[in-house]
Amino acid sequence: MIDLNSKVSSSVASVPPSAIRKFFDLASEMQGVISLSIGEPDFVTPWSIREAGINSLVDGYTHYSPNSGYTNAKKAITDYVKRRYGIDYDHNGQCLITVGGSEGLDLAARALINPGDEVIIVEPCFVAYKATVLFSHGVPVIISTRQEDDFKLMAEDLEAAITDKTKYLILGYPGNPTGAVMTMEDLKPIRDVLMKHPDIIVISDELYCELNYVSDEPSSLARFPELKDRVVMINGFSKSYAMTGFRIGYVLGPKELISPMTKIHQYCIMSAPSMSQFAVIEAAANCDEQIKAMRDEYNHRRRVIIKGLNDAGLECFTPSGAFYAFPSIKGLGLSSEDFCEKFLTSKKVAIVPGNAFGESGEDHVRISYAASMENIKTAMERLAEFTDEIRRGIV
């Protein structure tokens, strides 16, 4: 009998299955669970965006688009980035429309990595960073950020991680799972380190760029003119525009890097969904007001979450972006997985153990506030009860 397991490529086999699979199964079997574990907006996509997608179907746009995307969709994207970031990209050659931001991460890894190349990953972070590097036979070099630094990347840690094998750095701010933001001021020391290492590429994941509660202006290493030519911006509409199911994102950068990424995309994906590209034209051009309304609502919930964590006596740095809080549970005597499992079974609230996002996430839990205010308030009351029971030795 053939051993099918042995046929799986070693690069895929080397990536462990999701650490929270068991937890996921448990949560999905229980009834009446309040989930603050979800990494996607609870808002339905604004109607005008949905309507634009529907109209494209009515008008018969049901075919492949050009590989890199429809020209007017790419133009809408580069216009949006010019308007929001003040950065110029040529929609013809420096822009590729992808199937979500995730495809961009995969394309970057496959386009850039030779076996053995090192990629610097700043943890705790989105789980796909490490996996895409491993799938492409790269070597992840992990930098662990710290709560006392507000989970920002520190220049000295970056300097220490760089070797002559470093191919690129992946940076994801505003961050999942921490909610950390790096302002342009915070990014200056990082730019200075990178200027000393002119061969290192930057992959800047900016999916949460519009969900920033401390600054109206998105921050990005691509905004430094001296770095722009080696930064690939990965961005999309899933988080800021509540468009996760549309599976649409984009990458922007120098032609020399966008071109090989487009080559892979052309062979493996062909083109991003046409309907979603029509939706993007509407989203990028006409929806600033709806985006602001969602951001304001997240901001209100963020403050309710912070108060809830304080009431529960959990230490948490103030998250400034995305829709996550990442409090510490240190000192309660439970691992992050045990904490989440017991919280789920005893209080019926699902949150995610921090170690799912890298070892440095241990002793933390990720709480998503992409949930209704009512659910957030109830969940925070239950969290306060739960931590009190732990402290009194009941749990």
Partner 1 sequence: MIDDIELLKIIEKDPRISSSDIAVQLGTGVDEVEAEIQRLKDEKIILGYTAEINWQKTYPEKVTALIEVRITPQRNQGFDNIARILSKYDKVSDCFLMSGAFDLLLTYNDDSLKDIAEFVYNKVATSEGVLSTATHFILKKYKSNGIFFEDTTKDDRQAIVL
Where along the sequence are the contacts to partner 1 (CB under 8 A)? 18, 20, 23-24, 27-28, 33, 35, 37-40, 42, 44, 126-127, 176, 296, 300-301, 303-304, 307, 350, 352, 356-357
Minimum CB–partner distance for residue 299 and partner 1 (Å) = 8
Provide φ and ψ at 196, rounded to 5°.
-80, -15
User: H or E stretch including 51?
Assistant: helix 47-58
Please say which residue, 156 or 374, places its beta carbon nearer to partner 1: 374
In whole angstroms, how far apart are CA 322 and each of 74, 172, 242, 246, 253?
Answer: 25, 11, 12, 19, 23
Q: Are the beta carbons of 237 and 246 closer than 8 angstroms?
A: yes
Minimum CB–partner distance for residue 364 and partner 1 (Å) = 15
Please say which residue, 15 or 184, places its beta carbon nearer to partner 1: 15
Please say which residue, 251 or 356, places its beta carbon nearer to partner 1: 356
Please say which residue, 173 or 298, places its beta carbon nearer to partner 1: 298
User: H or E stretch including 205?
Assistant: strand 201-205
Longest dimension (CA), the chain: 64
How far apart (Å, rounded) are the C-alpha atoms in residues 20 and 15? 14
Please say which residue, 138 or 354, places its beta carbon nearer to partner 1: 354
Minimum CB–partner distance for residue 277 and partner 1 (Å) = 24
What does DSSP say about strands 365-368 and 352-353: parallel, antiparallel, or unpaired? Answer: antiparallel
Minimum CB–partner distance for residue 127 and partner 1 (Å) = 5
Q: Give SS3 for 26.
A: helix
Minimum CB–partner distance for residue 195 and partner 1 (Å) = 33
Please say which residue, 24 or 64, places its beta carbon nearer to partner 1: 24
In whole angstroms, how far apart are CA 113 and each of 297, 310, 357?
Answer: 40, 44, 22
Q: Give SS3 for 236.
A: strand
Provide φ and ψ at 200, rounded to 5°.
-90, 130
Please say which residue, 118 or 341, places its beta carbon nearer to partner 1: 341
Q: Are the beta carbons of 228 and 256 closer than 8 angstroms?
A: no
Minimum CB–partner distance for residue 361 and partner 1 (Å) = 12
**What one-character-per-residue DSSP string does 273-301 give?**
-HHHHHHHHHHHHH-HHHHHHHHHHHHHH
Minimum CB–partner distance for residue 43 and partner 1 (Å) = 10
How far apart (Å, rounded) are the C-alpha atoms in residues 202 and 195? 12
Minimum CB–partner distance for residue 336 and partner 1 (Å) = 14
**What one-character-per-residue DSSP string does 250-265 give?**
EEE--HHHHHHHHHHH
Please say which residue, 260 or 313, places its beta carbon nearer to partner 1: 313
In whole angstroms, how far apart are CA 84 and each of 42, 229, 264, 366?
Answer: 24, 19, 29, 29
Which of 359, 342, 362 lies closest to 350, judged by CA?
342
How far apart (Å, rounded) are the C-alpha atoms in residues 326 and 368? 9
Place of tokens 């029971």: 389
Minimum CB–partner distance for residue 138 and partner 1 (Å) = 20
Please say which residue, 18 or 345, places its beta carbon nearer to partner 1: 18
Please say which residue, 127 or 222, places its beta carbon nearer to partner 1: 127
Minimum CB–partner distance for residue 356 and partner 1 (Å) = 7
